[in-house]
Chains A and B, each alone.
Chain A
Amino acid sequence: MKFSNYLKSIEDVSIYPLITLVLFVLVFVSVVVYTFMISKQDMDERANIPLK
């Protein structure tokens, strides 16, 4: 596969996609978990800021 041909010359290249994937999943999961943890009342309060 050409993809690996390019990449194999980079030292410890496997760490790049790994770090990336971990970071991406971490941020995504935390954001999703966070948003579902907040109470509806809290969310409503924030959503209403422009209308105050």
Chain B
Amino acid sequence: MDKFYYDNKIVKQFGVATLFWGIIGMLVGVLIAFQLAFPALNFGIPYTSFGRLRPLHTNAVIFAFVGNAVMGGAYFILQRVLKTRLFSDLLSKIHFWGWQLIIVFGAITLVAGYTTGKEYAELEWPLDILITLIWVVFGINMVGTILKRRERHLYVSVWFFIGTWVTVAMLHIVNSFEIPFTWLKSYSLYAGVQDALVQWWYGHNAVAFFLTTPFLGLMYYFVPKAAERPVYSYRWSIIHFWALIFIYIWAGPHHLLYTALPEWAQALGTVFSIMLILPSWGGMLNGLFTLRGAWDRVREDPILKMLVVSLTCYGMATVEGPMLSLKNVNAYSHYTDWTVAHVHIGALGFNGFMIFAMLYYLVPRMWNTTLHSRQLANVHFLISTIGILLYAIPMYWAGWAQSLMWKKFTDSGQLQYQFLETVTHIVPMYIVRGIGGTLYWIGAFLAVYNLYKTMKKGSFVDNEVAEALPLSAQPIPVKQHWHNAIERKPVQMLALSFVVVAIGGIVELVPTFLVESNVPTISSVKPYTPLELHGRDLYVREGCYTCHSQMIRPFRDEEMRYGEYSKSGEFVYDYPFQWGSKRTGPDLHRIGGKYPDSWHYNHMRDPQETSPGSVMPPYPWLLEKELNTRTTPAKIRAMQKLGVPYPEGYDKISNEELRKQAERIAAGLKGSKIEVSADKEIIAMIAYLQRLGTDIKK
């Protein structure tokens, strides 16, 4: 028998970080929820405006709260099911502190306005590199641990962690190709339709492989542990794993239905999304059936309660997702709060409750004591469950109501509602949602208190003693299957998982990359002028895409409201694409020329003045800050590298061109009795907005 020690310290560090970032990330979520009802909460400064805080919220809850939980949970489970200490204490340490560094820098840069403008992949290029390095450290530590194990079989949780690691690495690298032009800013390597396809292939699979597969790894360990019985069917779990990683990777295009994306790719996304129901529900039922004979305990045990609600939410979200992928449903649901509700059923219910159940399980065990208060944990469960309901129901309602209002015509064939009317109609729902989020946050806070008291009560066991037979001393089974061979060789398993997920990626992405005819060119579409390019970068910096789409779908109501539907060829110079995924405000793709420059000036200064009842935050700093034109030549050169046909040597004269256009706009504003110097940021923003969607009208 070998005697060895489990490293609990690293699990503790990740666990504490989970709680810390969870509280912060959710609090930012609550703030931005209320901002949508009370724009004054944007406080009139850049760092607290919705467009910057929304990416902070999503990044904080996904990569900081969930990320730390997954890493801590994986390190706890890997050691126990492989009967060994983690591969390297040093790598564990580098992994933990490196990840926290990424989070801190990520938060600072996002609030400061350094963003790639691609949802859930907003962090800029230096952080992208750091993420890659730390992810490699995580991978080496994980595979190293698997290689020195004392358990012949790799338990199914380990497969899910391997699948997660491989796929996230691939997604992150492919989606993060960018050309830097300053130390903190870059342009995406892809433009328009291609960028959208890559981004949503990433975005969708970030949900699949950062928020789902690692959680199934946690589920297959913690549900049997909490229920004190083995998983219902190990056979199901094998099918679950392979089917899920194979099918998930294909479903990305369902985020782009009715857009300018080629139709074959949209069809592919829908078909695979429907197929996803089977493995997802198979997995959910496998988890729930594991509780066979233990249902009486669900009444009292907060951990089991949370696991049951978590799995139920997983089941709900995974039947709703495919439903939203049907084109006829998506026509209504897309761009509305329905998507937001759907996401939060997964995030608050499935992810959140799984994490809290895990922590309620881990902390008493690692501190060698019992939970400080079971009753308090039950209160947490109750408050947070009510919180989820109060969050989701108003958002479903708001989504439906707004979509129906958008599409409503009068008898004479006119649109019945102005966009703004559809917003003010759902503001009360936004308030209830904010209350729901607050309740969930209070529940999380109770968990922090309860777990803190538990830690104080017990004494932490940083090196937990364990014993197991070395692998060499264990008998080799007589009968072997091919899967056994893969399982015994984790590197093979890793390679095979990669092949499986890469196939989906290649078949989906390659045709769009190679074939120019997939994106028909439009001869009148020309590159942005230097001033417009700056304006576009300001649009990205302020996170305008978090509330405004730039993609008019070919529907009667959308064409009537916004103008001619968007063509793929119109986006060929958009690095990155800015199609958006949510219309808290109206679509902006054909905003160019719709209003005079003075309207935009006044609207950015105080949206409520031009649009009474608007929930848009004001952007007074755009009127005061000078445009940084030092970067213009570098921007032009980066664009040229990406293939944008600016004439040679254009970078040298770009600032001169910029000045001329800016002065024309400033002079025009002067005619409208607005005194503003031509070197302010607002001028660039106006130039960009007035250019949007106008090329095909030429």
CA distance A4 to B151 in the complex (A): 51
CA distance A45 to B242 in the complex (A): 20
Determine the residue in chain A with the shortest Cβ distance to B224.
Answer: A50
CA distance A18 to B157 in the complex (A): 32
A9 touches B515 (CB 8 A): yes
Determine the residue in chain B with the shortest Cβ distance to A42.
Answer: B477
Which residues of chain A come closer than 8 Å to B151, judged between CB atoms?
Answer: 49
Given contacts A9-B515, A16-B511, A20-B503, contact A49 B243 (CB under 8 A): no
Given contacts A3-B267, A46-B153, A48-B230, contact A9 B238 (CB under 8 A): no
B243 touches A34 (CB 8 A): no
Chain B 59-89 against A: per-residue CB contact (8 Å), 1 yes, 0 no?
Answer: 0000000000000000001001100000000
Write 8 A-B pairs (CB below 8 A) sorted by A numbering: A9-B515, A9-B518, A31-B238, A31-B242, A32-B239, A37-B481, A49-B153, A51-B229
Given contacts A28-B243, A50-B80, contact A16 B507 (CB under 8 A): yes
Which residues of chain A come closer than 8 Å to B80, judged between CB atoms?
Answer: 50
B470 at the interface (CB under 8 A from A): no
CA distance A30 to B477 in the complex (A): 21
**Which residues, 104 to 118 on B, are CB-close (under 8 Å) to A?**
none
A34 touches B483 (CB 8 A): yes
B239 touches A6 (CB 8 A): no
B264 touches A51 (CB 8 A): no
B262 at the interface (CB under 8 A from A): yes
B482 at the interface (CB under 8 A from A): yes
B230 touches A44 (CB 8 A): yes
A47 touches B511 (CB 8 A): no
Which residues of chain A come closer than 8 Å to B242, judged between CB atoms?
Answer: 27-28, 31
B300 at the interface (CB under 8 A from A): no
CA distance A38 to B546 in the complex (A): 50
A10 touches B230 (CB 8 A): no
Chain B residues bordering chain A, tally (CB within 8 A): 40
B228 at the interface (CB under 8 A from A): yes
Determine the residue in chain B with the shortest Cβ distance to A1.
Answer: B263
Given contacts A34-B482, A34-B483, A50-B80, contact A3 B263 (CB under 8 A): yes
B263 touches A49 (CB 8 A): no
Determine the residue in chain A with the shortest Cβ distance to B80.
Answer: A50
Given A6-B264, A20-B503, A35-B235, 17 additional A-B pairs, CB 8 A: A6-B263, A6-B517, A7-B511, A9-B515, A10-B511, A23-B503, A31-B243, A31-B483, A35-B238, A43-B235, A47-B231, A47-B234, A48-B230, A49-B81, A50-B80, A50-B155, A50-B230
Give the contacting residue for B515; candidates A10, A34, A35, A51; CB below 8 A.
A10
B481 touches A50 (CB 8 A): no
Given contacts A2-B263, A27-B246, A28-B243, contact A46 B234 (CB under 8 A): yes
B456 at the interface (CB under 8 A from A): no
Chain B 472-516 against A: per-residue CB contact (8 Å), 1 yes, 0 no?
Answer: 000001010111000000000000000010010001000100110
Given contacts A34-B238, A38-B481, A51-B230, contact A24 B81 (CB under 8 A): no
The 8 closest A-B pairs by CB, nearest first: A47-B230, A47-B234, A35-B235, A49-B155, A43-B234, A9-B517, A31-B242, A6-B262
CA distance A28 to B267 in the complex (A): 21
Q: How far is the CB of A41 from chain B (nearest CB, A)?
A: 10
Determine the residue in chain B with the shortest Cβ distance to A7.
Answer: B264
Given contacts A9-B517, A10-B511, A50-B225, contact A31 B239 (CB under 8 A): yes
